[in-house]
Structure 1
């Protein structure tokens, strides 16, 4: 990225992804989501064109780009009415962690499938009693000879039914014994086959219209080989943040993409719908809220690009701050614009025909996951402003 414009390569990437996504469009996405089907056809098409693994090193089947590139892919898909949640998870979180901390053998085993979309990988960190507190994770890995046994629970795990493997965050039994109390545990990461004996995944009934389902996952002495562990079991949060910073950057792009899609629909309707002899977009009561949303979306996109650039430069702490800010700003922009666009549509805004009411739930997720807006504000209060912690 040079100055305030993206490179020509990334701009061309956006153009080509948008072109591909437009051949499927919102009607395809909604049809698949409402019928309980998957968007596998689109997913594999993205992989075949090299867009899925654009951030994964070339030697493992990827494009050799950065998180900003895969975030651009995620955003453009959403902007065409095809927001694919697993783009956040598989290539961005799992791909980034394995590329950065995996052994050569692990990279060769898992990255090519992630890159071309043929072996999607899910990610499991959230637990029923831990929520956003990664220090309170209770999923435990204990050694059994050269192998590991994994036991615990996870909740709100996306797309595990369409993933060959899931990257699970746990703590080792040794770490639990040595921790000296809460807040000292070091998370570690394991790649677990989704068909492993002892792993059970139960769907959670959600209101959101999405082809990707959410699951509660139960692990009962799931036996894993030694090389299921990714990276160092003592590295702790460093490895976790290698996945969580891209997660927040991708979540921001996911939100800004949906926001752009909603704004486009609102603007189009405001030009077509006439009341009192003029298009409703001529009235400032309609045009000003849409203009405000344009500003909010572009500001969020700019912070997302900054976060991606800092991450690619290897500045993890600065990237973490910017990624949290971007995720927060993008979720707020998306919630605001969808609310405004529903209002612009009037009664049509809550019909299925016009396709905006379902976005109310979709964008609301951005304020909750992958980290709540309140936890982002906690982080900014303490890390950026130096205020005392309340927790």
Structure 2
């Protein structure tokens, strides 16, 4: 870790701890969107730390925004909005938007004045983007969007939604030719329906219906029909940052478990003196460390301009799995206290459990590794 890394971790950690788990739960219970935390992160320059300086960012890289994501989660205030707004949509704009679009949109994202959401998932195209059915039809100087998206996160706080839609079909493969559009969150014809879930987080889940929503051609990001390549510049980022939020929660849970194992005594010794208690925590530490190192490697190579599809998938798999392992071990070691809201552990369970399923499920990552890393026959 460099001195700059340590300084960034310290600054973000101190800020996030000034909010902490009590603030996080109060936001969930009251229906808040963690606006105060978001504003503080924006004012500190942390939300846009990875975006170009000319657009109000910090000029650093994915490695630095990953630190921000991990440290906020470690402080008990995991912020999924960072993944989707500056993380995914900010990166897509930085990598694929025109200079005019960057100047128009990036400053508000980098400063945190605006939050954006990212909409790709559909009822019949969860892990197969080629089956996206939401269509964008060219009509003069606009496109007309028709279709639906499901399980889209953070729409309640979004000023704009980045939407992946079909603009044609490949005549040889039958696969959709996709394009990426920026849609106003209050656009005429856009209907938003909340999906009730057990998630204990400020960001909500939504179903979106596009009924002849008009989008100017000037709000298409990248070339028409090249949207999958455009989207994947942000989706690899999303997978890496998902690892960071999960390892942050895992480190948060592990620290609480270690403190509990040292303080609680049964038969006149701390329970941490017993291997049945100590070994799950040691195992969690090993797996978290491996995940963090792999995530850091993915960030470094991404920032150096390398292709990181394999590493992004591996980092996401290891981070999500190790975060869930650490949290589960911490809950178990607390016994009945582990499911009490007072101990602020089980309240984070569904965040990490959900992030093991998506973005991109563990099974699809294993399919990717089997085919592309090992050269095995395609299984789906």
Scaled to the shorter chain, the TM-score interval is over 0.9
1:310 deviates by 1.4
The farther-off stretch of 10-19 and 235-244 is: 235-244
Question: In 2, are the aligned partners of 1:189 and 1:229 still within 8 Å (CA)?
Answer: yes
Question: In 2, are the aligned partners of 1:303 and 1:325 still within 8 Å (CA)?
Answer: yes
Question: In 2, are the aligned partners of 1:187 and 1:240 still within 8 Å (CA)?
Answer: no
1:239 deviates by 1.2
1:132 deviates by 0.7
**Corresponding position of 2:158:** 163
**Corresponding position of 2:144:** 149
1:306 and 1:132 map into 2 onto residues whose CA distance is 25
**Corresponding position of 1:53:** 48
**Corresponding position of 1:330:** 319
Deviations 1:127-162 (A, max 9, x none): 011111011001111111111111111011011110
**Corresponding position of 2:178:** 187
TM-score by length of 1: 0.95
Question: In 2, are the aligned partners of 1:101 and 1:231 still within 8 Å (CA)?
Answer: yes
Out of 355, 361, 374, the position equivalent to 1:372 is: 361
Out of 205, 211, 221, the position equivalent to 1:214 is: 205
Count of matched residue positions in the alignment of Structure 1 and Structure 2: 380
Question: In 1, are the aligned partners of 2:135 and 2:146 still within 8 Å (CA)?
Answer: yes
**Corresponding position of 2:115:** 120
**Corresponding position of 1:345:** 334
Out of 192, 201, 214, the position equivalent to 2:192 is: 201
**Corresponding position of 1:253:** 244
1:181 deviates by 4.5
1:101 and 1:62 map into 2 onto residues whose CA distance is 17
The secondary structure found in structure 2 opposite 1:187 is strand
1:37 deviates by 1.4
Out of 218, 223, 229, the position equivalent to 1:232 is: 223
**Corresponding position of 2:232:** 241
Say if 2:346 is the partner of 1:357.
yes
**Corresponding position of 1:76:** 71
2:159 and 2:188 map into 1 onto residues whose CA distance is 14
Question: In 2, are the aligned partners of 1:128 and 1:155 still within 8 Å (CA)?
Answer: yes
**Corresponding position of 1:308:** 299
2:147 and 2:354 map into 1 onto residues whose CA distance is 25
Question: In 2, are the aligned partners of 1:179 and 1:185 still within 8 Å (CA)?
Answer: no
Consecutive unaligned residues of structure 2, counting only runs of 5 or more, are none
1:376 deviates by 0.4
Deviations 1:153-201 (A, max 9, x none): 10110111101001001111xx22x43443x323211000000001111
**Corresponding position of 2:82:** 87
1:351 deviates by 1.1
1:235 and 1:215 map into 2 onto residues whose CA distance is 26
1:356 and 1:9 map into 2 onto residues whose CA distance is 31
- CA-based RMSD of the aligned residues comes to 1.0
1:69 and 1:187 map into 2 onto residues whose CA distance is 30
**Corresponding position of 2:100:** 105
Question: In 2, are the aligned partners of 1:266 and 1:344 still within 8 Å (CA)?
Answer: yes
Out of 113, 124, 130, the position equivalent to 1:129 is: 124
Q: Which runs of 4+ in 1 moved over 4 A?
A: none
2:51 and 2:265 map into 1 onto residues whose CA distance is 49
1:360 deviates by 2.1
TM-score by length of 2: 0.98
**Cα distance, 1:131–1:353 mapped onto 2, change above 3 Å:** same
Question: In 1, are the aligned partners of 2:16 and 2:72 still within 8 Å (CA)?
Answer: yes
**Corresponding position of 1:23:** 18
Question: In 1, are the aligned partners of 2:93 and 2:106 still within 8 Å (CA)?
Answer: yes
**Corresponding position of 2:33:** 38
Deviations 1:67-106 (A, max 9, x none): 1111110000000000000111100110011011111111
The secondary structure found in structure 2 opposite 1:164 is strand
